[in-house]
Amino acid sequence: MVFQEAIQTNYSKNAIDSLAAELAEALDFQPGGSLEQLVDKLGGRIHYQDLDDWRNSSDGSVVVKGKHDFDIYLSNFTGPLRDRFTIAHELGHYILHSKLGEKQIKVGRGKSNRLEWEANWFAAGFLMPAKLFRSECEKNPDRNHLASIFMVSPSAIDVRKKSLGL
């Protein structure tokens, strides 16, 4: 199998944020919903690896073999809230960078570049849609309360608040 290089979309942060929120709505994904079920519905699989396997793996963080055929690799030493963001991030690569499996890609770990930023923007917009996030912040801005609604870490709440100017 020949993998193509994943290429950034160059969509704006707001465009990716809106796309992620629209997709969450189209898939009937609710805040706190099961990402594992969603990955399965989209034809993907999630693999948890122990620390040594995860560090030494050449598989990368997401491997897309085709439409409805992708694998997400997570370490088994992180918590469920961190894993949720990571899964949404890897879905961002599948949706944005493989174009829902049209391109066979393998995305590695540990880089900080535009490709990774786009996947992060997607994850934030998917898990914490801006309109709903703002509404919930108006009701109760407490980071722990918001983290329990959106099922993300309090630090993800802080980043989302900052990015939305809240």
| 139 in any annotated domain | no
Comparing C-alpha atoms, which of 72, 129, 128 is closest to residue 95? 72
pTM tops 0.85: yes
Alpha helices by DSSP H, the chain: 13-26, 35-41, 51-56, 80-92, 114-127, 130-139, 143-150, 154-163
Domain range for 65 is 13-128
Which pLDDT does position 81 carry in this prediction? Answer: 87
| 71 in any annotated domain | yes
The enclosing domain of 116 has a CATH number of 1.10.10
Q: 154, exposed or middle or buried, with CB in 10 Å at 0-12, 13-18, 19+?
A: middle
| 111 in any annotated domain | yes
| 159 in any annotated domain | no
| 141 in any annotated domain | no
Q: How many domains does the chain have?
A: 1
Q: In the chain, what is the greatest distance between 2 CA atoms, to the nearest angstrom?
A: 50
pLDDT mean for each 10 residues of the chain (166 residues): 75 94 94 94 91 58 92 86 92 93 83 86 96 96 96 95 94
Q: Contact 134/164 with Cβ under 8 angstroms?
A: yes
Which pLDDT does position 50 carry in this prediction? Answer: 77
Q: Contact 75/52 with Cβ under 8 angstroms?
A: no
| 156 in any annotated domain | no
SS3 content of the chain, % helix, strand, coil (to 5): 50, 15, 35
Question: Token pair for residue 144?
Answer: 């722990």
| 41 in any annotated domain | yes
| 17 in any annotated domain | yes
Residue 75's identity, in one-letter code, is S
